[in-house]
Amino acid sequence: MESLYEPYHKRLREMANREIAQLSGVNLVPENEIRGIPQVHVQDTGISALFQEASFFYAPKANVIALQIDNDNAKLDVGSIKAKDIAYNYQYAGGEITVYRMTGKELKQYMEWSAGYFNSVKPGDVTYSFNPERRASKYSTNDFFAGVTYTIDLTQPAGERITDLKFADGTPVKDNSEIRLGMNSYRMGHLTKKGGILEGQQFPVLFDTEAEYGEEQGTIRNLTIRYLTEQKQGKYEGKPMQRWKLSGLEGFEKEREIVKELINSGKMDVPASADGRYTNIESINVQDLILKNSEAKNAAITQRLSRLESAPENEKTTLKRELILLEALNP
């Protein structure tokens, strides 16, 4: 039986491993600054820009493109780009681009929902972190938007975080601005279903890549491969992207560097879900761990050690992390 299917498996491997372009410039996903915090979620990256660039080209009626990257380990380094790299970095095989007409107000509602992926920043936080419930969803709900520039201010509560929202040409996006939003229809269904941020709303469809190019050839994956081979002629230059940014971490720069070294050296980890599947579900906060003198430090250590033995497992993890921080922040 295996020998019967081997020619097909060989052909599939050949298709997956075929080179479609050469990447120059910079890697499309920077290395994680802090272990356990996927860089693709906390800064704008070239990998999302590549998929959005291809989407704009093949869905030219759109003036804004939204999509997500589901792979925490997204990676595309300078060198050969193979077909399998596209599938690895954009994991929703059926994702197409459908263009919907809406207003700037409705776009901002959607963007605010997306920004709810993050926890609010509190004084003393030295890391950005993710909402545990949103982090545990099957597909990422941290969507990235192209055709606009914006800041996500995490000092503000969910629903009030999108600031400085402008079109790519610098024109402010107003409530009545005409938006032609390209995104996959599965996500739109999630937004408009019962309980969704755009519950019950219907938006006119202006264009659909699957209707235009076919169910298989109209997917974001295949359109990106086509874009790299036909439009970029097998050559693509990666550039640093700054279309959006997070804001909210203020002060504690020295402490942030200490925490970063502790995590990256493996001495401690960022907070994770109980089963360990989802990392960075809580920010690391140092405000109450910077003490005035050695007496206060020793008292804080003694108090945590006394709780450690009888504490439940999740609390033990927190106490151990705090003990490491107390030593490092109060030498």
Q: Are 260 and 286 contacting, i.e. CB atoms less than 8 angstroms apart?
A: no
Residue 14 binned pLDDT confidence (cut-offs 50, 70, 90):
confident
Q: Are residues 161 and 310 in the same domain?
A: no
Flag whether pLDDT at 13 surpasses 90: no
What does the alpha-carbon distance between residue 210 and residue 139 come to, in Å, rounded to a whole number? 21
Mean local confidence (pLDDT), 189-215: 98
pTM for this model (two decimals)? 0.94
The reported pLDDT for the residue numbered 138 is 85
Structural domain count, the chain: 2
What does the alpha-carbon distance between residue 278 and residue 135 come to, in Å, rounded to a whole number? 7
The reported pLDDT for the residue numbered 4 is 62
Residue 6 binned pLDDT confidence (cut-offs 50, 70, 90):
low
Q: Which of 215, 247, 279 is the last residue of a domain?
A: 247
User: What are 223-248's pLDDT values in tens digits?
Assistant: 999 999 999 999 999 999 999 999 99
Please state, for a pLDDT cut of 90, what percent of the chain lies above it. 92
Please state, for a pLDDT cut of 70, what percent of the chain lies above it. 96
CATH number at residue 113: 3.90.780.10
Q: Are residues 231 and 108 in the same domain?
A: yes
Q: Are residues 220 and 267 in the same domain?
A: no
User: What are 140-196's pLDDT values in tens digits?
Assistant: 999 999 999 999 999 999 999 999 999 999 999 999 999 999 999 999 999 999 999
10 Å Cβ neighbour count for 89?
25
- Higher pLDDT: 13 or 135? It is 135
Mean local confidence (pLDDT), 25-34: 98
Q: Are 104 and 171 contacting, i.e. CB atoms less than 8 angstroms apart?
A: no
Q: Are residues 160 and 274 in the same domain?
A: no
User: What are 251-291's pLDDT values in tens digits?
Assistant: 999 999 999 999 999 999 999 998 889 999 999 999 999 99
The reported pLDDT for the residue numbered 314 is 86
Q: Are residues 293 and 239 in the same domain?
A: no
The reported pLDDT for the residue numbered 2 is 64
What does the alpha-carbon distance between residue 130 and residue 140 come to, in Å, rounded to a whole number? 11
Q: Are residues 264 and 304 in the same domain?
A: yes
Q: Are residues 278 and 238 in the same domain?
A: no
Output the DSSP codes for 158-172: TTS-EEEEEETTSPB
Q: Are residues 78 and 105 in the same domain?
A: yes
**Over the chain, what is the mean pLDDT?**
96
Q: Which of 194, 212, 247 is the last residue of a domain?
A: 247
Mean local confidence (pLDDT), 206-224: 98
Taken as a whole, the chain contains a residue count of 331
- Structural domain containing residue 277: 253-329
Residue 28 to residues 47, 48, 60, 279, Cα–Cα distance (Å)? 5, 8, 24, 22
Q: Are 284 and 264 contacting, i.e. CB atoms less than 8 angstroms apart?
A: no
The reported pLDDT for the residue numbered 15 is 74
Q: Are residues 48 and 180 in the same domain?
A: yes
Flag whether pLDDT at 55 surpasses 80: yes
Q: Are residues 219 and 291 in the same domain?
A: no
Q: Which of 199, 226, 229, 204 is nearest to 213 (CA)?
A: 226
The reported pLDDT for the residue numbered 289 is 98
Going 221 to 222 to 225 to 227, the CA torsion angle's sign is negative
What does the alpha-carbon distance between residue 215 and residue 236 come to, in Å, rounded to a whole number? 26
Q: Which of 216, 218, 237, 224 is nearest to 20 (CA)?
A: 224
Unique residue bearing structure tokens 């050469």: 22
Q: Are residues 177 and 272 in the same domain?
A: no
Q: Are residues 209 and 289 in the same domain?
A: no
Q: Which of 200, 225, 247 is the last residue of a domain?
A: 247
The reported pLDDT for the residue numbered 139 is 87
The reported pLDDT for the residue numbered 260 is 99
Flag whether pLDDT at 9 surpasses 70: no
